[in-house]
Amino acid sequence: MSAILALSSRSWCCGAGHKLSTVVHGQALFCSRRSIQLGLSANVDSKRLYLPSWIKHFVNCVKPRNKSLHQRHFSLKGNIKQTPSRLLVLTLGSGCVGVVTFIRTFSNHAHCEYKPKNRLSAYEETGNIPEPKLPWKEFFKLLLPDIWYLIGAILSALAVAILNIQIPLMLGDVVNILTKYTTESNGDFVQDIKAPALKLCYLYGFQGLLTFVYISLLGSLGERVATRLRKRLFESIITQDIAFFDTHKTGEIVNRLTTDVQDFKSSFKLVISQGLRSLTQTLGCIASLFIISPKMTTIMVIVVPTIIGLGSLIGSVLRTLSRKAQAQVSKATAVADEAIGNVRTVRAFAMEPKETELYNREVEQAAKLNQLLNVSIGAFQGLASVALNGIALGTLYVGGLLMSRNELKPGDLMSFMVAVQTIQRSLAQMSLLFGQAVRGLSAGARVFEYIQLKPLMPMTGGLTIPYHTMKGSIEFNGVTFTYPNRPNQVVLKDFSLKIPGGRIVALVGLSGGGKSTVAGLLERFYDVENGSITVDGINIKDLDPSWLRGRAIGYINQEPVLFATSVLENIRYGCPGATDEEVKEAAKLANAHDFITSFPDGYNTVLGERGVTVSGGQKQRIAIARALIKHPSILILDEATSALDAESERVVQEALDKIIKGRTVLVIAHRLSTIRDADVIAVMSNGVIAEIGKHEELKKKHGIYWELIKEQEKGVHQQEGFFTRQQG
C-alpha cells in the first residue's frame, strides 16, 4: 500500500525536494532487531512519502499564474480530485485485504489447534491460569537505584521530540523564503535564508547530540535493570520450596531468566526512547497544527481518536495471541531442555528421532503462533498505515483548498504537512511499538510473577544446636503427609519412628511405600501437615533450615549430582570454607583419594556436566566426601549403593561403614544384606511402619520382612541360574 502511495506520489511530482526529505527523515532510530523487522513496512511508509514533493506539486497547482481565482480553484479541484481519490480507493482496498487476511489467519488457527497426548501434557498450559499482571510498584522499586539514568534519558528524549516539533516550523520559514524567490527576483536571498538555515543547522546538531545522550543512557539503564532483574529472579527461584520444582519444568524456569528478561528489557528501552519521543512529538505537533491552521486541525482531532479506538480493540486480541505464543516457545524450550539434559537416557532408548519429532512439532507450533502474531501485527500496522496515509491525503486536499482561497501560505502548508507527517511517523512508530510493548509487558509480568513468589518455608532463621552438645536423636511423631502436587494421595499416615542418637536405623519395604519421603521430610524439603519431626527434642520447624541441611544432616542418595567443576570444588561444595587439606581428608575417609590422585590432574580434574566423566562408584564416593566434609551428626543414606555394581558397592560400602561410626544414621535400602547389622529395622508399608525390630527378630516373625528376604533370595538364585545358563 505504501509502495503504491510512494509510487503515486512520485508520479505526481517532479522529484524535487529529495534532499529536504532526507533531512526530515534523518533521525536516529533506536530499535531492536525484531522491531526493525516488524517495523520495516512502517518505516518504509514514512520514508517514501516525499512530502516536499507533495508540497511542490501543490504549490505548482495553486501558484498564482495568469489564472483567475475561480480558474485556480477549478484546476486545483481537477488535479487533486482524480489522483487522491484513486489513491484512497487503493488505500482502502489494500486495507480490506489486510482485514480479510487477519480474519482468515485467525480462523485457520482455530482448525489446526494441536493437542499433544504424550509426555508433553506436563507442559500444557492450563487454560484457567490467570494472566499475570506487571506489578508496577515493584518495577519502579527496581528502577529506583538508576532513576537518574532514567530521568536523563527521558529528558533528552523529550528534548529530541521538542526539537523535532520545531523543525517543521523552521522548514516552513525556509520554504516561504524559497517561494518568495520563485516569484520575485529582487532582494538578497543569501541574507534572507541565512538566519532560518542557521537555526535549522543548530537544531539538527542538538538533535544528534541529544539522540546520542538518550540512547547511551537508556542502553546503560536497560543493562543495569536487566542484571538486577536476573539476580533477583535467580535468587527467588533458587529459594523456592521443593514443591515448586515438582510442578515447574526447568526449561520453563530458565526461559524466564533468559528470553523473558531480554524481551522485557528491549521493550522497556523502546517504549522509553521511541514511545516517549513519539508521544511528545505527536502532542507537540498537534499544538503546532492548531497554531498553523485551526480549521484543518479540528478535522484531524475528530478522525484520529476514532482510529486510536479501533487500534486498541485489535490490540487486545494481539495481547492474548502474544501470551499464547510465548507459552508455546517456553514449552518447546522445556522439551529440548529435558531431552538434552537426559541425553544418555534418550540414547539408551534410541529415542533421538522421537525426541526430534516431538521438538519439531512444538517448535513448529510455536512458529505457527508467532507467524500468526506477526501477520496480525502486520495487518494491524497495515490498517494503521492506511488510516494515517488517508489522513495525509485528506490534509493535502483541505490544505490545497485553503491555499486556493489565500487562507494559507505555501510555507504554512509545508509546515502543516511536515507536522502531520511527524505525527503520522510517530503514530506509526507507536503502533509498531505496541506489539513490542505487549510482548514486553507479558514478559515482565512473567518475570515478576516468579520474583514475587514467596516460598512457604524460610531458608534461614531459627534455632541451632551446638556441635559438641548435639546427640542427633530423631523422632517422627504421628506424621501425616501428602505431596502438594498430589493432594489426593496420603503418602505417610500417622507415621511414628524413634531414632536414638548415634544409632543406625534402617527403613525397608516395598517400592513406593514412602521411605524416601521420610528422608525428604527429615531434610525439611516439605513441611508435614500433621504430627511433628524433632531433632534432639526440637521441632525441625523451629530449627534453622540452612543449619539443618548445611551442617547437621549429610544426605547421600542413589543418584548424586556433581557439578561441572573440579573434584576439589565438588567436595568443597559441602563446606565452602574447607581447606584443601580438609577436602583430601574427607576424600580419604570416603575411599576416594586413591582414584582421584590417579587422574592426571588429580583433585583439579574437571568433571563433565552432572559428573558424567566419572564412574557411578567414583561419583558416589565423591558425593560421600562432599557430605562428610561438613561433619554431619546425622547421615541419611537413601539407596546409596543400589545403583552400583557388586565391586563398586563393596568399595562404597566400606567407605560408608567407616563414616557411620558415631553418627545417627537413617539407611534406606533395597538390598537387605546391607542393613542386617542396623540397630533397628523398620519395615514400611503404605505409609506406616508395619514391623520393627532387629534382623533376627523380624525374620522369626515370618511377616513382610521375611517375605522380602525370600523374594530377594529367589531373585539372587534366578540371577545366578541365568549367568550359569549363559556361561554354559
The correct pick among 514, 545, 554, 632 for binding ligand ATP (CB under 6 A) is 514
- Which range in 118-126, 253-261, 480-488, 593-601 contacts ligand ATP by CB under 6 A? 480-488
Q: How many residues bind ligand ATP (CB under 6 A)?
A: 12
Residue 701 near residue 691, CB atoms below 8 Å: yes
Query: Which amino acid, 551?
Result: R
Q: Is 500 helix (H, G, I), strand (E, B) or coil?
A: coil
- Which range in 80-88, 193-201, 301-309, 510-518 contacts ligand ATP by CB under 6 A? 510-518
Residue 30 near residue 371, CB atoms below 8 Å: no
- Does the footprint of ligand ATP cover residue 724 (CB under 6 A)? no
Give the span between the Cα atoms of 56 and 46, in whole angstroms. Answer: 18
Nearer to ligand ATP, 473 or 516 (CB): 516
Nearer to ligand ATP, 150 or 518 (CB): 518
- Does the footprint of ligand ATP cover residue 713 (CB under 6 A)? no
CB 245 → ligand ATP: shortest distance, Å? 9
Q: By rule CB under 6 A, what string of x and - marks binding of each residue 323-362 to ligand ATP?
A: ----------------------------------------
Nearer to ligand ATP, 511 or 598 (CB): 511
CB 247 → ligand ATP: shortest distance, Å? 9
Give the span between the Cα atoms of 356 and 726, in whole angstroms. Answer: 37
Say which DSSP state 609 is in.
G
- Which range in 402-410, 450-458, 505-513, 656-664 contacts ligand ATP by CB under 6 A? 505-513
Nearer to ligand ATP, 109 or 670 (CB): 670
CB 673 → ligand ATP: shortest distance, Å? 16
Give the span between the Cα atoms of 514 and 510, in whole angstroms. Answer: 9
| Cell numbers standing for residue 510 | 516395598
Say which DSSP state 117 is in.
-
Nearer to ligand ATP, 191 or 511 (CB): 511
| Cell numbers standing for residue 702 | 515370618
Distances (CA, A) of 687 to 332, 513, 708: 37, 6, 17
Nearer to ligand ATP, 41 or 642 (CB): 642
- Does the footprint of ligand ATP cover residue 511 (CB under 6 A)? yes
Name which of 545, 525, 544 is nearest 484 in CA terms.
Answer: 525
| Cell numbers standing for residue 182 | 520563485
Query: Which amino acid, 491?
Result: V
- Does the footprint of ligand ATP cover residue 641 (CB under 6 A)? no
What residues between 691 and 710 interact with ligand ATP by CB under 6 A? Answer: none
664-668 and 504-509 as β-strands: parallel, antiparallel, unpaired? parallel
What residues between 437 and 476 interact with ligand ATP by CB under 6 A? Answer: none
CB 710 → ligand ATP: shortest distance, Å? 18
- Does the footprint of ligand ATP cover residue 517 (CB under 6 A)? yes
Virtual torsion, Cα 684, 685, 691, 696, nearest 10 deg: -70
- Which range in 189-197, 228-236, 315-323, 478-486 contacts ligand ATP by CB under 6 A? 478-486
Q: By rule CB under 6 A, what string of x and - marks binding of each residue 485-504 to ligand ATP?
A: xx----x-------------
Listed in order, strand segments (DSSP E) in 218-268 are none
Phi-psi region of 462 (alpha: psi -120 to 50; beta: other; left: phi over 0): left
The correct pick among 35, 421, 516, 633 for binding ligand ATP (CB under 6 A) is 516
CB 345 → ligand ATP: shortest distance, Å? 18
Please tell me the number of Cα atoms within 13 Å of 512 on its side-chain side: 2
- Does the footprint of ligand ATP cover residue 78 (CB under 6 A)? no
- Does the footprint of ligand ATP cover residue 249 (CB under 6 A)? no
Distances (CA, A) of 640 to 23, 204, 555: 74, 73, 9
| 201: CB partners within 8 A, 6+ apart | none
Nearer to ligand ATP, 367 or 510 (CB): 510
Beta bridge partners of 490: 482
Say which DSSP state 494 is in.
E
Virtual torsion, Cα 561, 566, 567, 573, nearest 10 deg: -60
Residue with grid cell 561410626, as numbered in its chain:
661
- Does the footprint of ligand ATP cover residue 205 (CB under 6 A)? no
- Which range in 220-228, 482-490, 658-666, 699-707 contacts ligand ATP by CB under 6 A? 482-490
CB 242 → ligand ATP: shortest distance, Å? 8
The correct pick among 323, 331, 515, 524 for binding ligand ATP (CB under 6 A) is 515
- Does the footprint of ligand ATP cover residue 411 (CB under 6 A)? no
The correct pick among 222, 284, 513, 574 for binding ligand ATP (CB under 6 A) is 513
CB 483 → ligand ATP: shortest distance, Å? 3
Give the span between the Cα atoms of 536 and 473, in whole angstroms. Answer: 5
Q: Is 50 helix (H, G, I), strand (E, B) or coil?
A: coil
Give the span between the Cα atoms of 501 and 521, in whole angstroms. Answer: 18
CB 513 → ligand ATP: shortest distance, Å? 4
- Which range in 61-69, 191-199, 513-521, 657-665 contacts ligand ATP by CB under 6 A? 513-521
CB 556 → ligand ATP: shortest distance, Å? 14
Query: Which amino acid, 60?
Result: N
Nearer to ligand ATP, 391 or 665 (CB): 665
Nearer to ligand ATP, 43 or 516 (CB): 516
Nearer to ligand ATP, 658 or 670 (CB): 670
Distances (CA, A) of 426 to 46, 308, 432: 10, 13, 10
Q: For residue 47, count other CB atoms closer than 10 A to its CB.
A: 15
- Does the footprint of ligand ATP cover residue 512 (CB under 6 A)? yes
Burial class (CB in 10 A: 0-12, 13-18, 19+), 534: middle
Nearer to ligand ATP, 80 or 528 (CB): 528
The correct pick among 106, 359, 483, 595 for binding ligand ATP (CB under 6 A) is 483
Residue 501 near residue 664, CB atoms below 8 Å: yes
What is the DSSP code string of 296-328?
HHHHHHHHHHHHHHHHHHHHHHHHHHHHHHHHH
> At residue 574, what are phi and psi to the nearest 5 degrees?
-70, -25
CB 518 → ligand ATP: shortest distance, Å? 7
- Positions that interact with ligand ATP (CB under 6 A): 246, 483, 485-486, 491, 511-517
